Amino acid sequence: DADVTQTPRNRITKTGKRIMLECSQTKGHDRMYWYRQDPGLGLQLIYYSFDVKDINKGEISDGYSVSRQAQAKFSLSLESAIPNQTALYFCATSDFGGGTGTDTQYFGPGTRLTVL
């Protein structure tokens, strides 16, 4: 079974609709992330959470919100979707390595979102 799962895997919606993307993990990691991937732009960090009570904005948080319901669950919402939010969205967890400063990321399979 996959350690990081995302639902749905594909979604087509219309401008102005509210959309929620869900992420669950069985790795037991405290840290969870949401990224957006656009062709040729690499990964852009939307939001991140270092534990259940800690939520932080990333570099492109406008138009998005998140909820950390439990250690294992981290949801991303688009309150009113717009076409330029069409992208591939990835959830990730990390096992922060303490004194070594090593923060290896583990990614879900992605959600392809199309906003018409």
Give contact residues for other proteins (rule: CB under 8 A): 4, 40-43, 45, 48, 50, 90, 92, 94, 96-97, 100-110
Token readout for 66 is 């998140």
Q: Which is nearer to other proteins, 80 or 104 (CB)?
A: 104
Please name every residue paired with 24 in a beta bridge, in sequence order, or none if there are none. Answer: 5, 73
Q: Which is nearer to other proteins, 78 or 106 (CB)?
A: 106
CB of 98 to other proteins, least distance (A): 9
- In the Cβ-directed half-sphere of 75, how many Cα atoms lie within 13 Å? 13
Please name every residue paired with 78 in a beta bridge, in sequence order, or none if there are none. Answer: 19
Burial of 49 (0-12, 13-18, 19+ CB in 10 A): buried
Q: Which is nearer to other proteins, 38 or 79 (CB)?
A: 38
CB of 15 to other proteins, least distance (A): 27
CB of 78 to other proteins, least distance (A): 20
Please name every residue paired with 11 in a beta bridge, in sequence order, or none if there are none. Answer: 113
CB of 26 to other proteins, least distance (A): 15
Please name every residue paired with 89 in a beta bridge, in sequence order, or none if there are none. Answer: 36, 111
**Are residues 3 and 19 in contact, defined by beta-carbon separation less than 8 angstroms?**
no
Q: Which is nearer to other proteins, 26 or 102 (CB)?
A: 102
